[in-house]
Structure 1
């Protein structure tokens, strides 16, 4: 009997990995432009960390965490709490008053697996700690939008404000009174949440609950003056940055630590789980975890969902699937001995190059080049060596040109590398 992967845990196969690498490379490039530095965090943390930060009455803590009760440890269900634990433990605020950090890695939640939502999933997480200005909120959202745009993806930005400990209690009372009148029509989870975590009722995905809360009080009507001014400034700065957004008064997020600005990037084509990324401000969380009273804001993007969106995008598909820039089809022992150092020289020049060493026919080698989606195939046989002219075939257009073999290996590799780089630039 074959052993298979655990339900909700997925292998990322070689044909898929290039998309993951492209997402990670693009994220690192953009984050560095905004001054973020990478931090790498452990997968296991003390259970108390997530109970205190995420909230004991959230679905994540109540039902979804992978916890080892006898050890008091949990596999991280999200990155922010772990990152803040490291920030506090190592007193990073003493090194720099404002820390801009990001991390990329796996998270774990025990929930029903579905499209783009697995029990082991991967997130890109970006956090700015120590800055409370609304300009920072807008800058972080603009950074997330830039990442999606440079990946060739389209998503809309939705924003809301959850207020602060001064104004949220009044809104909570209004909402609880409203939900009391609608209790009979609420789903079982929302009837339970109505008293433990009433804001989560607004975020229920079931159609019956969504219909019942359409006329619920809006937290935007209950904001205190400082929260209202902050949220207005966030919108003004999004306008200055040219970032399009819309207000969503039902957005509450699933974690208790959020205050003031919250946001989501919504993409079509992902079914009910349409958020490809989300985040918000958590100004009291660091102090709650035993650290200094510093503000913070961050967001996370699900890599599985980004990959799904990339797979559904036809543009740049050929460039994404490109495994090899040039394949050398060498026919005969002498041609193989000529091509071997040439391929090695190309690799030294950062060109993705490959060849076959089994001595198969030209037809078989051309099929192999096609499977690798090579941009070019360099055909070298006895006649080509004698005439010192190889055949260079563009695998996309099938156009063939003569390629001079006059010169040493380094010179030939340089010419081929230039050709491959020009093709790569035209595809990007």
Structure 2
């Protein structure tokens, strides 16, 4: 039987994995500059966490979660997103008591959603996310949005669009909710089953429906902007003011609705305008979630964050024709001629590696010509040749592949010679 990879997953092979490493390291370095610390949470959690944290009216909870019962009869779910797990850890580990507030965290790891696989979208995908917990200052909203934009721009992406909206506080949302119900209820039978269910549970989610997005009532639906109270309006104006001061370009989109139930006040998305990127243009989404910590059992604590999939980021880079400057090849390939030289090469390659030099040798008893071809395939910067004659003289021949220059070097000083050349 020939085994195949499950649908909606992928193998990230050598040559591609280096791109992922580059992106992850860049994101880690950027988070360090913004004083965000890494947190690692379990890949699976109790299902109730996502029912409460993500919201039982969301597509994620209703249709996309990988949920199973463990041997103890507990309902367990592979995490479909990162925020609920981070907030659970924040509460469980009493991080709200840390004197250094806000708590600024980032995470990277696999998430799981059962949805139709398509370009840049998988059932197992890697998400990078940021959460800032403990501050209701609109300046932290601007910081988080600015950090998200900088991650994309640092990789060279230019065809980006940032859209922001305010979902308002609880009072504003209730007023908007009532207006939405009144707007849709007379013709809700014309909408899909999901929207009919959402009308009473969470009418805001109707605006996020992909099936009915072209329905005429969508275009005339009440805008949350018109229902913001003075406090919410002032908050949103401050966020916009800070973004402007930080030089972050944005558009206000009153129709922007995030797909998770826990958002309030600031919501945002970063999209790609690159030609050929695809119908789904969103790269990154995030927003403020001031009630989530309480929902998961903690004290009243404001929070804001964002997340993006590395798969979609790679697709955006490809759409703009951007190549990442990932390290290719090795530093040195050791070619051995004869049994004694072969034995010596084992030790020599080990010494090179311990000296911080990426080195390789032949393990298939290939002829000299084949070993040089192997060095070419591995993109070796230098090829070092050692044989019986070199062993007698305690030397080694070193060839720089880029220039073809070849020199004889004392074996005792070979490693130091390479170190200087590789600087």
Give the superposition deviation at 1:366: 3.5
Q: Which residue number corresponds to residue 367 of structure 1? A: 373
1:93 aligns with 2:101: no
1:126 to 127, 130, 149: 130
1:391 aligns with 2:399: yes
1:42-81 deviations in whole A, cap 9, x for unaligned? 1222222111121111111111112225422222111111
CA distance in 2, matches of 1:211, 1:375: 62
Q: Which residue number corresponds to residue 415 of structure 2? A: 413
What's the TM-score once normalised by structure 1's chain length? 0.87
Q: Alignment partner of 2:222: what SS?
A: coil
1:286-309 deviations in whole A, cap 9, x for unaligned? 112211111001111112222333
Q: Alignment partner of 1:287: what SS?
A: helix
Give the superposition deviation at 1:30: 1.3
Distance 1:100 1:238, change over 3 A: same
1:343 aligns with 2:349: yes
CA distance in 2, matches of 1:56, 1:254: 11
CA distance in 2, matches of 1:322, 1:368: 15
Which deviates more from structure 2 when the two are superposed, residues 182-191 or residues 276-285? 182-191
CA distance in 1, matches of 2:170, 2:330: 56
**CA contact 1:331–1:359 (8 Å) conserved in 2:** no
**CA contact 2:54–2:261 (8 Å) conserved in 1:** yes
1:145 to 128, 144, 149: 149
Give the superposition deviation at 1:281: 0.5
Superposition pairs for residues 227-246 of structure 1, below 5 Å?
A: 227-246=232-251
Give the superposition deviation at 1:188: 4.7
Which deviates more from structure 2 when the two are superposed, residues 259-268 or residues 129-138? 259-268
Distance 1:104 1:334, change over 3 A: same
Distance 1:309 1:162, change over 3 A: same
Q: CA RMSD in A?
A: 2.7
1:71 to 56, 60, 74: 74
Distance 1:313 1:130, change over 3 A: same
Superposition pairs for residues 34-183 of structure 1, below 5 Å?
A: 34-68=34-68, 70-96=73-99, 97-154=101-158, 155-180=160-185, 183=188
Q: Alignment partner of 2:219: what SS?
A: coil
1:128-170 deviations in whole A, cap 9, x for unaligned? 1001111111111111222222333343322111111010111
**CA contact 1:193–1:200 (8 Å) conserved in 2:** yes
Q: Which residue number corresponds to residue 3 of structure 2? A: 3
1:235-269 deviations in whole A, cap 9, x for unaligned? 11112222222222221111000011111121235
Distance 1:354 1:153, change over 3 A: farther
**CA contact 2:204–2:257 (8 Å) conserved in 1:** yes
Q: Alignment partner of 1:167: what SS?
A: helix
Give the superposition deviation at 1:314: 4.5
1:255 aligns with 2:260: yes
Which deviates more from structure 2 when the two are superposed, residues 171-180 or residues 26-35? 171-180
Q: Which residue number corresponds to residue 21 of structure 1? A: 21
Give the superposition deviation at 1:187: 4.4
Give the superposition deviation at 1:377: 3.3
Give the superposition deviation at 1:358: 3.2
Q: Alignment partner of 2:171: what SS?
A: coil
Q: Alignment partner of 1:228: what SS?
A: helix
CA distance in 2, matches of 1:420, 1:315: 27
Q: Alignment partner of 1:255: what SS?
A: coil
Give the superposition deviation at 1:208: 5.3
Distance 1:366 1:245, change over 3 A: farther
Q: Alignment partner of 2:326: what SS?
A: helix
**CA contact 2:277–2:319 (8 Å) conserved in 1:** no
Q: Alignment partner of 1:205: what SS?
A: coil
Give unmatched runs, 5+ long, in structure 2: none
What's the TM-score once normalised by structure 2's chain length? 0.88
CA distance in 1, matches of 2:336, 2:295: 66
CA distance in 1, matches of 2:361, 2:153: 36
Q: Alignment partner of 1:14: what SS?
A: coil
CA distance in 2, matches of 1:125, 1:357: 42
1:221 to 201, 226, 231: 226
1:260-282 deviations in whole A, cap 9, x for unaligned? 11111212354233222211100
Count of paired positions: 413
Distance 1:307 1:289, change over 3 A: same
